[in-house]
Structure 1
């Protein structure tokens, strides 16, 4: 039986590539560059399936030009804001994602960013590393205490719930806003806010874990940032466009926002150079799921979806 032909757009984990090459005729470029619109359109005539990352954009314009040979797009991500799902469905192309396997890794990074932002990690590291540490005082690098503070979480999916569990280890008071209230066992004593403004007022720390949708783009604009308590710390490991970056810089410079920890940006790769002058903004290059265990699990989940599809079954994570 002829193996389906699969295009893997980026360099996935060794275990994922080995399994894919065992079961599929794989096209993969070790140069590891993002697939352009032209690449996607061209490859659609050569392959039966694609495993893309969030760096490949399936816009309506691109989807309209895809070859009928392409049958499934098995995303190596949970977020699918890079895909026009309506256009893909109309084209008859199946779409899947990888939920449930990257929650802990991303929540770990959110915790790291929260602690680092609260305790001046970037500035402290620079001072010691540069040899400039020649002074100490009780007023030196005084940060914001995490233990016992109020934590607001926007989006209580897998990552949000994992982050809440980890934050309880610091005795944080968990507050959250979600499209719907969790069951009592999942809520685990957290306080639900049906109104976002109510949550913001109760958040000494705020962490974003919601998807990017037309309703959530620029969710944290100047008005909403102003509703946070003075000195609040904001963390974003979801999508960069959830925050209006100009408004965040203004809030940082005014002192209303005390610090920020960011793993994602409006412009990726590259980030926002205007953030770099602020040592109370801790930044990582969108690596929330970057652990060996999680990248293997994401790759295997994408392949599980492909395997089911080509057996004639409904993929477990079909959208």
Structure 2
């Protein structure tokens, strides 16, 4: 009896790397369940175009204008494995054709949340600052370096954005017994209240929080919305943690307030990466610097491959995906995130 052909999957993960997101056994699982056209291993534009009429899913980031999508009449899913929805896909055409658009953002959430908690504790207690001082022989012992230290426990906390990252950090903050206010214009207040959070405006969230975590994604509407006016709402000595998208922050205004000693900040994302060697941010002792490394750990990368296999197998069985993020038609074209190198 002839075997049923396996569904065809195009694998073209660049700028991601195949072996960074698929363990050997996970890649074997993918190949067992699907006929995989691996365009990282054997790049060929001709192979891609020839496969379009039969393709079941595309894992990666090729250019997909409307006319290309139309040819892919059996396509069920476009799976982003980099973490940002780029404008190289005609999303409206994909949705009209009933194609699922999925993203791997949830794979990074736990790693980013744990790192973010570490940044907050560092800002609260000056850990990396005093490490540098001790290496330089200028340390102050016992209480001598604790004049600006605070507790995270029971502190007023603000979240700017409550998506994957905010939810993951919220779970980690439970033992700290914080009062948490959230500004997220994409969520109804009932969702936040059901999570035991206090909904607030941006002004309320910034003005009443000793620790502020900026998780907002970059959109066409919110460029630099954490600007000078917003930063001036922060209480003196507030701790600002930036781990989502640089586009949402006015870094010139932030630098000015850091130089004046008004606030502390931990920054993992930058408008220009790598951060220029002569950037004045490198000279701010009240700032923890990080090279966009919060989420990119091996466990997070490998979880992408696991999620891809899980959801492809669900789709193959005629079931909806459950692990990857499902792109909302109302939002996906509004994102203005930059690729991460």
- TM tier, smaller: 0.7 to 0.9
Query: Please, which of 36, 48, 58 is the counterpart of residue 25 of structure 1?
Result: 36
Deviations 1:50-101 (Å, cap 9, x if unpaired)? 434xxx6x7xxx5449845664430125543x3466x233265642113545
CA RMSD of aligned residues (A): 3.3
Give the SS at the match of 2:130: helix
> Aligned pair 1:51/2:62, yes or no?
no
Q: Give the TM-score, by structure 1 length.
A: 0.77
Shift of 1:12: 1.5
Deviations 1:154-191 (Å, cap 9, x if unpaired)? 11223213322322322322111122214477422x32
Query: Please, which of 87, 91, 99 is the counterpart of residue 88 of structure 1?
Result: 91
2:22–2:304 CA contact under 8 A, matched in 1: no
Query: Please, which of 13, 24, 31 is the counterpart of residue 8 of structure 1?
Result: 13
> Hey, what's the Cα distance between the residues in 2 that align with 1:305 and 1:281?
40
The change in CA–CA distance for 1:151 and 1:42 in structure 2 (over 3 A counts) is farther
Query: Please, which of 106, 111, 120 is the counterpart of residue 105 of structure 1?
Result: 111
Q: Give the TM-score, by structure 2 length.
A: 0.73
Aligned to 1:301: 307
Aligned to 2:145: 140
1:41–1:66 CA contact under 8 A, matched in 2: no
Give the SS at the match of 1:296: helix
2:268–2:291 CA contact under 8 A, matched in 1: yes
> Hey, what's the Cα distance between the residues in 1 that align with 2:9 and 2:243?
35
Aligned to 1:192: 199
> Hey, what's the Cα distance between the residues in 1 that align with 2:48 and 2:122?
44
> Aligned pair 1:177/2:180, yes or no?
no
> Hey, what's the Cα distance between the residues in 1 that align with 2:118 and 2:182?
20
> Aligned pair 1:119/2:125, yes or no?
yes
Larger radius of gyration: 2
The change in CA–CA distance for 1:42 and 1:246 in structure 2 (over 3 A counts) is farther
Greater relative CO, 1 or 2 (CA 8 Å, sep 6+): 2
2:207–2:234 CA contact under 8 A, matched in 1: yes
> Hey, what's the Cα distance between the residues in 1 that align with 2:236 and 2:44?
46
Shift of 1:138: 3.5
> Hey, what's the Cα distance between the residues in 1 that align with 2:82 and 2:288?
24
The change in CA–CA distance for 1:16 and 1:143 in structure 2 (over 3 A counts) is farther
The change in CA–CA distance for 1:318 and 1:135 in structure 2 (over 3 A counts) is closer
| Between structures 1 and 2, the one with greater helix share | 2
Count residues with an aligned counterpart: 297
> Hey, what's the Cα distance between the residues in 2 that align with 1:284 and 1:167?
21
Shift of 1:109: 1.2
> Aligned pair 1:203/2:209, yes or no?
yes
Give the SS at the match of 2:113: helix
The change in CA–CA distance for 1:40 and 1:140 in structure 2 (over 3 A counts) is farther
The change in CA–CA distance for 1:155 and 1:134 in structure 2 (over 3 A counts) is closer
Deviations 1:5-59 (Å, cap 9, x if unpaired)? 32222231425444334434253658xxxxxxxx99888537645434xxx6x7x
Deviations 1:243-277 (Å, cap 9, x if unpaired)? 122221111112222x2122222234x14552222
> Hey, what's the Cα distance between the residues in 2 that align with 1:100 and 1:169?
23
Give the SS at the match of 2:154: coil
